[in-house]
Structure 1
Amino acid sequence: MDKERKCLICSIQISGRVDKLFCSLKCKSINQYEKRQKSEQFFFKVDSHLKVNRKILKSYNKSGLTTVRRTELIDIGFNPKFFTHYWKNKKGDVYFFVYEYGFLNIKKNGVKKYTLVKWQPYMEQS
């Protein structure tokens, strides 16, 4: 006797092949769409954070080299965990970049800050 099988999407009884999971092409398509949405959520989350970070760094770094309190950026939505690449200078300092705008963690007089920079051609050579 065949075990009663139900569609994974709409729970209608399935007839036909034993390995069939959906009652119709429509239900199969819905399942594929939902899978794709879940797998792309991570991409959209990361992309969104990168866009916000770039916008913030760009707005604070008009001169090409600026120092700003870390909390000031974080309070308006900057998330330092999201960056596109990094560059290490000869002193060993690691600058994290969000596309062409970078930041370096520093501490001045006990206050945590970021030195903000813009990508320069000489950075390509390292």
Structure 2
Amino acid sequence: MSKKNCPICNAVVTGRTDKIFCSIKCKSIDQYEQRQQKEAFYFKVDRQLRTNRKILRKHNKAGFTTLRASTLASEGFNPKFFTHYWKNKKGEVYLFVYEYGFLKKRIHAKDKYVLVTWQDYMSTP
């Protein structure tokens, strides 16, 4: 029978064959560390969503604006982080960060974003 070591403190694990940790304390430490890693991911996503929303709100005061993609990127905007989307009748998909939306387009060989604000008619199927 081979001896197993605790992944936290490296002590020999005794008892049942499927036992992983040497004590309840080590098991608790492992669970705490896993929870911290998961929470760090959620905090990162939430931070980027808040940043994206702040940038979109800053540049979209009129409710409909076209802006160069490089302008938004230079301020920390990341288009991979969004909360939901809306598809218009033309088949274009607007990505939204809460109430502020954006659509990436190529206009005159330059990447641009069309910025919009959520409207009531967008929620009807």
CA–CA separation in structure 2 for the residues paired with 1:85 and 1:119 = 11
CA–CA separation in structure 1 for the residues paired with 2:69 and 2:7 = 49
Residue pairs, 1:1-126, within 5 angstroms: 2-126=1-125
CA–CA separation in structure 2 for the residues paired with 1:93 and 1:44 = 30
After TM superposition, the score normalised by the length of structure 2 is 0.88
- 1:35-81 per-residue CA deviation (whole Å, 9 max, x = no partner) reads 22333443333222211111110111111111111110011111111
Deviates more, 1:78-87 or 1:38-47: 38-47
CA–CA separation in structure 2 for the residues paired with 1:39 and 1:87 = 29
CA–CA separation in structure 2 for the residues paired with 1:5 and 1:107 = 59
CA–CA separation in structure 1 for the residues paired with 2:105 and 2:16 = 64
CA–CA separation in structure 2 for the residues paired with 1:26 and 1:122 = 55
AA in 2 matched with 1:88: K
Q: Which runs of 4+ in 1 moved over 4 A?
A: none
CA–CA separation in structure 2 for the residues paired with 1:31 and 1:122 = 49
AA in 1 matched with 2:86: W
CA–CA separation in structure 2 for the residues paired with 1:103 and 1:27 = 47
CA–CA separation in structure 2 for the residues paired with 1:101 and 1:120 = 10
After TM superposition, the score normalised by the length of structure 1 is 0.87
CA–CA separation in structure 2 for the residues paired with 1:121 and 1:7 = 57
CA–CA separation in structure 1 for the residues paired with 2:106 and 2:15 = 68
Mind listing any 5+ residue stretches in structure 1 that lack a counterpart?
Answer: none
CA–CA separation in structure 2 for the residues paired with 1:55 and 1:120 = 19
Q: Aligned Cα RMSD in Å?
A: 1.7
